[in-house]
Amino acid sequence: MMNFRTVVAAMSLFLLSTLVKAQYTMHKMISVGYTYQNQSFGEIGGKLLFLKNDDVIYRVGGSAMMGSVDSKFAIMPKLQADVLLNFEKNVDFYHSYYFLAGVEGTNKYIAPKIGVTLFGMLDLTGGYAFPIGDTRLNGKEMKGLNINFTLNVPTVFIHDMFK
């Protein structure tokens, strides 16, 4: 089975190759959320959002998942890459929702995911996690149903709020 570094390198190479084609605008975001992966985890991190137009948006991010696994506190690093799609034209409330497809990976599992996002800020995704080798977190295997609920707040919004 591929190791975590190989997967991260492949995801980075794929994302960077798509971004080289055109000039993209980048926005920084702070993300806070909830992840269910055979256990409940809180999540905090950051994301970068890349867009040329608002039909297709790319996001990459990193975060820390924190929770109690088998009565012991655990922290897992998480990397993720998403593509947000909405090709709807001539609507009053322009691009309020996007379909989301992506992948997230930790040092314990890799999980492809799909879902929806409201304004690119409020995500609801689901997928299935595949363990990396025979890795466990405090003795518990991290495979199976993966559900994420995430709030992504642009740093521009936070900066403007405190002016």
Q: From CA 38, how far away is CA 76, in angstroms rounded?
A: 14
Q: pTM (2 decimals)?
A: 0.76
123: amino acid identity, one letter: D
Half-sphere exposure of 147 (CA within 13 A, CB side): 5
Mean pLDDT of 8-33: 73
Cα dist. 106→17, 23, 125, 136, 153 in Å?
22, 30, 17, 11, 22
User: pLDDT per residue over 53-95, tens digit each?
Assistant: 778 889 999 999 999 988 899 999 999 999 998 877 655 455 6
Helix (H, G, I), strand (E, B) or coil at 9: helix
Give the torsion sign (CA, 127, 83, 115, 156). Answer: positive
